[in-house]
Amino acid sequence: MATIGILGGGQLARMLALAGAPLGHRFLVVDSAEDACAGQVAPLLRADWRDFEALQKFAEQVDVATFDFENVPAATAEWLTGHTRVFPNPAALAVAQDRLREKTLFGEVGLETPLFATVDSMDELRTAVARTGLPAVLKTRRLGYDGKGQFVLRQPSDIEAAWAALGGVPLILEAFVAFEKEISVVAVRSRSGEFRHYPLTRNWHRNGILSASLAPVTVDEGLQQRAVERAQALAERLDYVGVFALELFSFEGKLLGNEMAPRVHNSGHWTIEGAVCSQFENHVRAVLGLPLGDTAARGCSVMLNWVGELPDANPVLGEMGAHWHDYGKPPREGRKVGHTTVCADSAAGLVEPLQRLGRSLGRQDQVAPVIAALLGKE
């Protein structure tokens, strides 16, 4: 039995604890919020991440520390390495926290990206726009997630508004990619360097937040293999340990790297019921130095995110093959409060359950793009 410490007490920490418990492991979660939802399933140490006295107590009680949030201050992650084992390592976390370093690394391991340029002033923004063309997306280099800290520029007159909205912190401008599909590779690397990946997942976003995922999906076989090879190269370069996700855009026969999430990922939630060993269990196994579990899919799965507030649970509970996840969080606009995974033996078998759920939950808009993809009617 080991105790795994998790910095951050959101739904990812909660699902890690729920996955690790059957293996006999215990968890200790640190979060400054009294009502952090992982605290409903694991002991919660209420403390700020910069409170080193509290972190000392935390480190004394855990065998290994990991993260449920990638924006844990680098100083905290560094400090922890002097007091316990920390996975993924802080240097890998630091790269993934900075969009510029991340995209530069993508290039170094041979993963193409949208055209990008660093922006630290209004003049640099003008020069960058001349380089990428319009439309383009201005993003903060740090602390961005779920579409936060982003501004889409469509015409030259948007430059000033974009600068007014985001200027003052280091930024990156990216060419806007009119992608055909958004794809992610969720993968895991163990302490001994073993690497496994889940089948490719297709993702749909609404307002910058993940709305639905479908797995497994196939893209051109060569591309698929390249995506997985690049993911492995990234993990090796960073000496990464644990689960991570590589988010890609499929565009004109290429896969372009958008970002790497150094943690279990929303586009891997389907693996709880839809894979032999879930991303959460595999993360626990990886950080403890245990053999990794089988990442093969069991049939086909669709994950629907519940954002803002939960729909009625009963239609989901009454749908065979559907699984209900309530994170125990109060509703709030833009907040991920739960998800549902629908599993079937084949992609075709997902269509009817999704149609029924779309209707009964009043979420036709959310299921429509997935159904269109399943029916080949995009």
Q: Which is nearer to ligand AMP, 95 or 177 (CB)?
A: 177
Dihedral of CA 154/136/367/324: which sign?
Answer: negative
Amino acid at 356: R
* DSSP annotation of 148: T
Euclidean distance between CA atoms 326 and 1, whole angstroms: 27
Of the pair 160, 180, the CB lying nearest ligand AMP is at: 180
Which residues form the interface with ligand AMP (CB under 6 A)?
114, 137, 144-145, 147, 174, 176-177, 182, 205, 208, 247, 258-259
Least separation in angstroms between CB 136 and ligand AMP:
8
CB of 114 to ligand AMP, least distance (A): 4
For the bound state, the minimum distance from the C-beta of residue 64 to ligand AMP, rounded and expressed in Å, comes to 28
CB of 221 to ligand AMP, least distance (A): 24
Q: Do residues 155 and 176 touch, judged by C-beta distance below 8 A?
A: no
Least spacing, CB of residue 355 vs ligand AMP, in Å:
25
Q: Is 145 or 220 the residue whose CB approaches ligand AMP more closely? A: 145
User: Which residue stretches of 238-278 are H helix?
Assistant: 271-274
One-letter amino acid of 340: T
Q: Minimum distance from CB of 247 to ligand AMP (Å)?
A: 6
Residue (145 or 276) nearer to ligand AMP, CB: 145
Of the pair 165, 348, the CB lying nearest ligand AMP is at 165
Which residue number, 174 or 273, has a Cβ lying nearer to ligand AMP?
174
Q: Give just the sign of the alpha carbon dihedral 193, 199, 200, 205.
A: negative
Q: Which are the contacts of 244, defined by CB distance < 8 A and separation ≥ 6?
A: 88, 96, 186, 187, 188, 189, 231, 234, 235, 260, 261, 262, 263, 265
Task: Spell out the residues 6+ positions from residue 198 whose beta carbon is closer than 8 angstroms to its own.
Answer: 185, 186, 187, 215, 268, 271, 275, 279, 295, 297
- To ligand AMP, the closest distance from the beta carbon of 30 in angstroms equals 25
Nearer to ligand AMP, 167 or 208 (CB): 208
Reduced to 3 states (helix: H, G, I; strand: E, B; else coil), residue 34 is: coil
